[in-house]
Amino acid sequence: MSFLISVALGIAGVVMVAVLWMILSGMGVFSEVNRLVGTIFNDTENPFDIMDFLGFGRVLSLSIVVGVIDVILLTALSTLGAFLYNICSALVGGLQLTLTDD
């Protein structure tokens, strides 16, 4: 169950990054950053282009790698947590509830 939830969170994270990148690109944030850095450095021989660093393909591939690592770590931690919970529950007896109909 934890594997399926972590896969869903990984997919949601990749989709969220893609949508956020498209929104920022549509708003012209990247071109404004290029313009701002161009006015600060004023280098005509080597113009700065933020898309060399934050291109859609690069950002999406990095978010996929982070998503895969997240799936592996979250599944392992959830499995370890369930194991520790079961051991503690076996040692102390856990809680016992009795539901009655009055």
Q: Is residue 97 part of a domain?
A: no
Q: Is residue 99 part of a domain?
A: no
For the chain, what is the domain count? 1
Query: Does residue 96 register a pLDDT over 70?
Result: no
CA–CA dist 75, 87 (Å, integer): 18
Closest CA to 6 of 59, 57, 58, 81: 81
pLDDT one-digit tens code per residue, 6-57: 999 999 999 999 999 999 999 999 999 888 888 888 877 777 888 888 899 9
CA–CA dist 59, 14 (Å, integer): 10
How large is the C-alpha radius of gyration of the chain? 24
Would you say the pTM of this structure is higher than 0.85? no
Tell me what pLDDT residue 53 has: 87
Domain span including residue 64:
2-92
pLDDT band, residue 102 (cuts 50/70/90): low
Residue listed under structure tokens 């947590």: 81
Record the tokens describing residue 69, joined without a space: 């690592």
pLDDT one-digit tens code per residue, 43-59: 777 778 888 888 999 99
